[in-house]
Structure 1
């Protein structure tokens, strides 16, 4: 799954990296080291321009642009925007079948740039303790070279049926997830679907209605090249923000590290409370 990620690059940097125009209209969110659901995020879309009458001109080349969306998909038929709170992720295995996602998968796909995403590795349950007491270690998955990761996403526009007809629509998105592979399985059984640069155009192409063949994750050469960085439990709280959340966690010395006549196994202690 993907429930938290970091997005710290400026629109100018993303424009260059994704070869896109700036369609954020000055509304791009500031750098965020702890992006949480329902927050505004920057996405990348490709759309045909509209003609002078406001109609989509399918004869004109599609244009790639940055766009601001709220994280948490609200289907166009929803009666209440609150439904988006539980639609932050879309499973690749069922996206083409679920009514909430299938139309967006066909017509409205996007890329969601990220510095990387956070995940929590669940440790063994202490003897005699309930499962919820299992220790959790926070990790940050990122490209060690600093390039953005492009999450596959879908998006929708929604108008409040009880609101002002002239009010602008709410634009929302969801991150597509898939089964984890390679080294990522050491942390969690799900991961965001990462789109490599060679697939950006196909995924964004507004004229392509069948995207099912693009729902496969990249090869192990891509996934195993990612850095799995242990980070502080500060990321557990959405109110915490700042570059310190991305710092590699340094294991603290414990009594196990003290000299002893007994043969003690080396280990690292991560103090990660169960606050997720």
Structure 2
């Protein structure tokens, strides 16, 4: 599961990183508590040129009559993505990159209290998640939507959660975007050891109304 993100890198820096043309309506960083149904910045490619554009985090299958016409699909499981009717066409033809500064996961404390942890890269570089996207066109205006691909957790990640987002190395971006003639399925695996750092943060982040850099401050012991 990957259910909350942070997005703090400037849009122009992301555009340079991915060599992508930025849209004018990208979500404005920083956002220290980016929640499902909000816009994320997504990299797509037509094979010749990349674009950095906003998409609603929450994939909407084409048969939904409204955006809330079924379960909120923020993640797609790597193990079944090629078989699920909601995702199988997208994973073949509409793959994307979803950058984030970090993400939150939760463990359970006393009395089932939700204890949040923050994950990011030690070097401060963006995490680049494997994603899929879909245009939902049943409303007045077409809506671009996306989901993050997840896989079973590594032993280290499993100390916190049994699943983790698929993170792509720069060398694998062309394959995932369909720019390279290679199979994408082998890329859907846990992150290598040492990619992440993690620490406990204040339960204030449990509220989707909470904002500010203090949300990722390490919790005092």
Q: Normalising to structure 2: TM-score of the pair?
A: 0.93
Q: CA RMSD in A?
A: 1.8
Change (3 A) 1:137 1:180: same
Query: 1:79 offset after TM fit, Å?
Result: 2.0
What is the CA–CA distance in structure 2 between the aligned matches of 1:159 and 1:208, rounded to whole Å? 30
Moved more, 71-80 or 111-120: 71-80
Partner deviation per Cα, 1:176-227 (whole Å, 9 max, x = no partner): 111110321111111111111111110011576953222223433xxx3411
Flag the structure with higher strand content.
2
- When the two structures are superposed, what TM-score results if normalisation uses the length of structure 1? 0.75
1:175 is aligned to 148
- Is residue 157 of structure 2 the alignment partner of residue 184 of structure 1? yes
Counterpart contact for 2:201–2:217, Cα < 8 Å: yes
Match of 2:27 in 1: 29
1:82 aligns to what SS in structure 2? coil
What residue number does 1:217 align with? Answer: 190
CA distance, structure 1, for counterparts of residue 70 and residue 97 of structure 2: 18
> 8 Å contact 1:108–1:206 — kept in the other structure?
no
Structure 1 unaligned residues grouped into runs of 5+ = 49-61, 127-132, 252-276
Task: State the number of aligned residues.
Answer: 220
Distance (whole Å) between structure 2 residues aligned to residue 83 and residue 210 of structure 1: 33
Q: Distance in 2 between matches of 1:240 and 1:153?
A: 26
**Structure 1 ranges of 4+ moved more than 6 A:** none
> SS in structure 1 opposite 2:68?
helix
Structure with the greater alpha carbon radius of gyration:
1
Change (3 A) 1:215 1:78: same
Q: Report the CA distance shift for 1:177/1:202 in structure 2 as closer, same or farther (over 3 A).
A: same
